[in-house]
Amino acid sequence: MNEYIVTINDIKKNVKVISQEKIEIDGREIEVSFQKISPHSITFKYENKVYEVAINKNGKESIRFLVDGWYYDAIARTKLQESAIELQKNISKEKHHTEVKAPMPGLILKIKKKIGDRVELGEPILILEAMKMENDIHSPASGIVKSINFQEGQSVEKNSTIIVIE
Amino acid sequence: MIKKILIANRGEIAHRIIKACRELNITSVAIYSDADKNSLHVRRADEAYLIGNSPANESYLNKEKIINLAKKIGADAIHPGYGFLSENSEFIKMVEDTGIIFIGPSSKSVKLMGGKTDARTLMKKNNVPIVPGTTEPIKNIVDAKKIAKEIGYPIILKAAAGGGGKGMRKIFSEDEFENSYNLAKSEAKKFFSNDEIYIEKFIEHPKHIEVQILGDKHGNYVHLFERECSIQRRHQKVIEEAPSISVDELTRKKITETAIQAAKACNYYNAGTIELLMDENKNFYFLEMNTRLQVEHPVTEMITGIDIVKEQIRIAEGKPLSFSQDEIKIFGHAIECRIYAEDIDNNFAPSTGKINLHRLTSGPGIRIDRGIDVMSDVPIYYDPMLAKVIAWGINREEAIVRMKRALSEYQICGVTTNISLFKWILNQNEFEDGTFDINFLENKFLPLVPNKWRNSDSEELINVVAAIAAIMKNESQDFLSSKNSLGKSSWRDQIYE
């Protein structure tokens, strides 16, 4: 029997996988079955209710589910993995810098600050062009610009750290 | 008679035009950029030609290349779709000069209506009501601020050559003016090669109502009633419907007459749309004319039975309209949801990738116009609209329940979409009773982003997802522990391909 912690947005669920047909969730035993339809879709029976679910990888651990028109991002970890992650989170909380990340892939049109400049929370600090729109990116924190990792005219991937504020 | 049409577009609209060509026994020709070699429109056309590199200005916006190709392959007409070169009067003039038929209005009409300030002047002259504002582009910022003050904030800045929400900024007070003006100007310059900006009064609680018209080359005009497109974000329409729940018979009569008046004022032929703002007292103002086929044309097709694209082709061939005004009636109600590749809770970031699952929804009253299929790439270069789900019902209630049913059945993987947004909108009271205006999403939805709008998340679905995630994790753990055995590869790892 294997026990997992599943994180969906901010909700955590304890799930024990007893067998292919039986799980325990919130202390309740549930009969389940799944039928794989394609590498990205299944039909899932939860007790006797039927769900059609689309499934796709979304980042390193996270999986994105689409069921009944709603998206859910879920991460399943063993108990050991879960406590390791919690520990890491506490360490990073002690660092006092904020990263300005690209919320979408795009082209950096303008960076309005230089290293050493003071920025205020909410101040527009760069313009990112994506899919025909110019987007003002606002500073997520007040502080001093510590480093700038890209130049104007460069393309960035989603989640690239463009500026670090300390 | 047109025998071969080059479709100077991509995505769902190219696919839509291909279908019309096939029904009329016309050869359809797709053009595509590097990034689009796996696109659905390329797979569905009778012929397909690589036109250039991925950026639009090297492919779908390259006038010379497109016209030279049309000449070389013996296309006798070009259909521009919407966006790209569809409202570029210079391009249309070039097409006209080569003797190839442009499936759309004349370059003269497009030029008259394309400059927004010119269009406002023309409409004013022809007794079409316009929104208070300037009919001339802004010359200097000091004067502009003075005018804005006279009209009264809030105001809106618009690109004279613009459309689709680009080069557009709403301003609430004078201190925002300069920054917004500069942003609007630079966007306008980039997207329309024209940085002229004009000012309009911002009308509170307006609805976006538009009228579809058709005109032939013999001076006959008809309207196909109105569409309501008030559900928008950043001036991009998200949901459209026909008819509008807010337009009564008297208003319908007034706005359709006005629309035909506007079309006549620029000697218009082919399909066009008069966009109007309507306030709470059902006063309406001319916004602009879209001198092309619209994204949301299917809702009109659903309630009138008219195939607008086929009608466009007939008009381009010089044939008279195939029906008269009194033959057209509104039958039922239609709604369209635009499926965009975007991640709502991540600041609406565009989502790119390869589609690896696409299960269409179908059944009574459902139509899907789409630009993607399995193995299609969703590249960063173009508009993120993937498909349109259109639901028809005998009345609005039935159209809404059909839409909800269809969206629940839609499955897509490879990119994240806005499907859940529609689940939210369609359940709001304001949507049901029709009291929403064009600021609805901004006022009611955006404050709930990220994640707070997902109230309708049920405990039940969370448990289902948690169960599946745990079972998949369990499989991959089993697989890791038996790595050296000859076990079949885990299902989770296949998904990770």
**pLDDT band of A94, cuts 50, 70, 90:** low
CA A69 – CA A71 distance, rounded (Å) = 7
Looking at the complex, report in whole angstroms how far the Cα of residue A48 sits from the nearest Cα belonging to chain B.
12
- Domain-located, residue B122: no
Compare CB distances from B383 to A63, A74, A131 and report the shortest one's residue.
A131
Length of chain A: 166
Q: Residue B486 has what pLDDT?
A: 43
Same domain, B290 and B423: yes
**SS3 at position B165:** coil
- Domain-located, residue B193: yes
Same domain, B287 and B423: yes
Judging contacts by C-beta atoms under 8 Å, the chain B residues touching residue A32 are 467, 471
Are A69 and B408 within 8 A, CB to CB?
A: yes
pLDDT per residue as tens digits for the range B49-82? 999 999 999 999 999 999 999 999 999 999 999 9
* pLDDT at residue B102 tops 60: yes
Compare CB distances from A54 to B357, B467, B472 and report the shortest one's residue.
B357
CATH of the domain at B381: 3.30.470.20
Nearest to B369 by CA among B19, B27, B21, B4: B19
Q: Residue B495 has what pLDDT?
A: 55
**pLDDT band of B492, cuts 50, 70, 90:** low
CB contact set of B440 (below 8 Å; sequence gap of 6+): B230, B231, B430, B431
Q: Does residue B292 have an active-site annotation?
A: yes
Same domain, B249 and B391: yes
By percentage, how much of chain B surpasses pLDDT 70? 95
CATH of the domain at B165: 3.30.1490.20
Are B466 and A13 within 8 A, CB to CB?
A: yes
pLDDT per residue as tens digits for the range B390-418? 999 999 999 999 999 999 999 999 999 99
Q: If you average pLDDT over each of A6-15, A92-101, B187-196, B317-326, which comes out highest?
A: B317-326
Are B383 and A54 within 8 A, CB to CB?
A: no
Are B413 and A11 within 8 A, CB to CB?
A: no
- Domain-located, residue B126: no
**Which residues is B156 bridged to in the sheet?**
B170, B200
Same domain, B246 and B354: yes
Segment B303-314 shows an average pLDDT of 98
CB contact set of B302 (below 8 Å; sequence gap of 6+): B242, B332, B334, B367, B390, B392
Report the number of distinct structural domains present in chain B. 4
Judging contacts by C-beta atoms under 8 Å, the chain B residues touching residue A54 are 357, 359, 411-413
Same domain, B179 and B259: no
Same domain, B93 and B241: no
Same domain, B188 and B246: no
* pLDDT at residue B27 tops 50: yes
CATH of the domain at B99: 3.40.50.20
- Domain-located, residue B239: yes
Tell me which of B155, B175, B201 is where a domain ends. Answer: B201
Asked whether B318 and B259 are in contact (CB, 8 A), the reply is no
List the single best residue of A104, A107, A123, A137 to mutate versus B (max B Cβ within 10 A).
A104
**pLDDT band of A58, cuts 50, 70, 90:** confident
Owner of token pair 């003075």: B146
Same domain, B170 and B221: no
Determine the distance from the C-alpha atom of residue B301 to the mean position of all C-alpha atoms in its chain, rounded to a whole number: 15
By percentage, how much of chain B surpasses pLDDT 90? 74
Same domain, B371 and B284: yes
B120, B292, B338, B370: the catalytic one is B292
Are A131 and B384 within 8 A, CB to CB?
A: yes
- Domain-located, residue B372: yes
Tell me the residue range of the domain where B180 lies. 132-201
Same domain, B383 and B458: no
Judging contacts by C-beta atoms under 8 Å, the chain B residues touching residue A71 are 416, 419-420
- Domain-located, residue B216: yes
CA A106 – CA A109 distance, rounded (Å) = 9
Q: Identify the residue with better confidence: B454 or B424.
A: B424
Find the DSSP H helices in chain A.
79-93
Same domain, B194 and B253: no
- Domain-located, residue B459: yes
Contacting A residues, span 110-129, partner chain B, CB-CB under 8 Å: none
CA A34 – CA B237 distance, rounded (Å) = 38
CB contact set of B344 (below 8 Å; sequence gap of 6+): B418, B420, B421, B449, B450
pLDDT per residue as tens digits for the range B107-123? 999 999 988 788 988 99
* pLDDT at residue B484 tops 50: no
Segment B250-257 shows an average pLDDT of 97
pLDDT per residue as tens digits for the range B261-280? 999 999 999 999 999 999 88
Judging contacts by C-beta atoms under 8 Å, the chain B residues touching residue A34 are 468, 471
- Domain-located, residue B406: yes
Q: Residue B188 has what pLDDT?
A: 85
Mean pLDDT of chain B: 92
Same domain, B184 and B213: no
Are A74 and B410 within 8 A, CB to CB?
A: no
